[in-house]
């Protein structure tokens, strides 16, 4: 890859779960204090369509697992990236450039808080989108399900809009998450804690 940023654009689904109560304070502002002394969670990505220069990124999956201090704005984040092993080498390089922030776009903003970024890994993944439930499994390492919370009418999903969030789409569905992660320094288990999902659209920017 050259030092210049190639044209790229991706759209798809992003969902998350951490150990905060039902709405993570850090989701509203990194200057708020999370529920616990350390925030443990992930951001899972399924790309519906997209490209990085001439590399097709349609139908690829990745997961960012993280640990942050109680006030996320203080930095010192630890982060690992897992990429579906069904991708080819060019797709893995492209995804890593995007999710590390090296290719500009919204992830560049988040990377200023990351102190330790572990080497990305290609692992087997199984992604499932069952409407109100989103699931992702990495055998032996990671398993998660997020389930939408119903709104006041008991039918539609509870949603939040108009929050400043560079990664999620403008409308986010509130959810409860169940996650188990057992990989190296990332050892956590969540039950009915903060979850969200949305449709994202990212593109290259300085």
Report the phi/psi class of residue 46: left, alpha or beta, with left for phi > 0 and alpha for psi in -120 to 50: beta
Nearest one of 6, 21, 19, 26 to 168, comparing CA atoms: 26
Q: How confident is the model at residue 2 (pLDDT cuts 50, 70, 90)?
A: very low
Domain that holds residue 54: 18-197
CB 80 within 8 A of CB 118: yes
Query: By mean pLDDT, which of 153-162, 168-177, 188-197 is the weakest?
Result: 153-162
Does any domain span residue 135? yes
- The answer to whether residue 41 is domain-embedded is yes
The SS3 call for residue 1 is: coil
The residue ranking higher by pLDDT, 163 or 115, is: 115
Asked whether the predicted pLDDT for residue 206 surpasses 80, the reply is: no
pLDDT at 3 over 80: no
pLDDT at 1: 41
The answer to whether position 3 is within a domain reads no
pLDDT tens, residue by residue, 86-141: 999 999 999 999 999 999 999 999 999 999 999 999 999 999 999 999 999 999 99
203 within domain boundaries: no
152 contacts 140 by C-beta, under 8 angstroms? no
Q: Which whole number is the average pLDDT over 156-176? A: 90
114 within a domain of the structure (yes/no): yes
The answer to whether residues 28 and 73 touch, using CB atoms and an 8 Å cutoff, is no
pLDDT at 83: 98
CA angle 25, 41, 165 (to 5 degrees): 50
Is 8 domain-assigned? Answer: no
What backbone torsions phi and psi does residue 92 show, to the nearest 5 degrees?
-65, -45
Q: How many domains in the chain?
A: 1
Residues 6+ apart with CB under 8 A from 3: none
2 compared with 128, residue with greater pLDDT: 128
Does 202 fall in a domain?
Answer: no
Query: 0.85 exceeded by the pTM?
Result: yes
Average pLDDT value for residue range 25-44: 94
Residue 92 in domain:
yes
């Amino acid at each position: 890859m050259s030092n210049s940023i190639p044209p790229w654009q991706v759209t798809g689904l992003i969902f998350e779960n951490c150990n905060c109560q039902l709405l993570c304070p850090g989701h509203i502002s990194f200057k708020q204090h999370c529920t616990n002394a350390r925030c443990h969670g992930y951001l899972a990505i399924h790309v519906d369509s997209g490209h990085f220069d001439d590399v097709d990124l349609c139908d690829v999956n990745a997961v960012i697992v993280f640990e942050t201090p109680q006030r996320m704005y203080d930095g010192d984040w630890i982060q690992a990236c897992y990429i579906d092993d069904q991708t080819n080498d060019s797709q893995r390089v492209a995804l890593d450039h995007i999710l590390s922030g090296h290719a500009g776009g919204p992830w560049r903003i988040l990377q200023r808080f990351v102190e330790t970024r572990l080497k990305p890994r290609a692992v087997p993944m199984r992604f499932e989108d069952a409407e109100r439930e989103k699931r992702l499994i990495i055998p032996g390492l990671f398993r998660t399900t997020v389930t939408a919370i119903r709104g006041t009418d008991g039918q539609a999903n509870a949603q939040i809009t108009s929050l400043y969030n560079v990664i999620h789409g403008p409308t986010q569905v509130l959810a409860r998450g169940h996650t188990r992660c057992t990989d190296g320094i990332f050892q956590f288990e969540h039950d009915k804690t903060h979850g969200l999902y949305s449709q994202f659209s990212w593109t290259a920017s300085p």
